Amino acid sequence: MKNITIFFALILVIAFSCLFALKFLSKEDDWICVQGEWVKHGNPSAEKPDKPCGNIYLTSPKNGEKVDNPFSVTGEARIFENQFNYRLKDKDGMILAEGPAYTNSPDVGKYGPFEIKIFYTNPKSSQGTLELFDYSAKDGSETDKVSVSVKF
């Protein structure tokens, strides 16, 4: 009888420890991104994230900002194997630069910062578009795409 009581007490301690960890130690998982909107998920006292809802977001350059050659792109991403892609196009759709980019995420499913230095060929127009995206493992389509207009 004594062993059963100790066993159940141990189970209760483990269960309460797990609940405490989920409720009070979780931060990023307190809100989840569902169809482009933040939805409350965990800790009821957690503040809504101040970053856009999505797997890739930019901090620089801002929409409509003038960029030099080269220029830096910064932000955070939560992407499979920390790898995504960038593409810089001019107003007519001519690709000026493209390639892979990497985020420095601390763990699977967590946001990590990134910085990309982009060198590009001379554009024929004074405006363009910067795109950051991932390729779907399912069908190769572009997913999690973020676009900003830039000026050259």
Provide the pLDDT for residue 89. Answer: 97
**What digits encode the pLDDT tens for the residues 103-132?**
998 888 888 999 999 999 999 999 999 999
At a CB cut-off of 8 Å and minimum separation 6, what does 134 contact? 55, 56, 79, 80, 84, 85, 142, 143, 144
DSSP label at residue 64 = T
Domain ranges of the chain: 2-40, 56-151
**What digits encode the pLDDT tens for the residues 22-73?**
444 444 557 776 666 777 777 767 787 777 778 898 999 999 999 999 999 9
Q: Please provide the CATH number assigned to the domain covering 56-151.
A: 2.60.40.2550
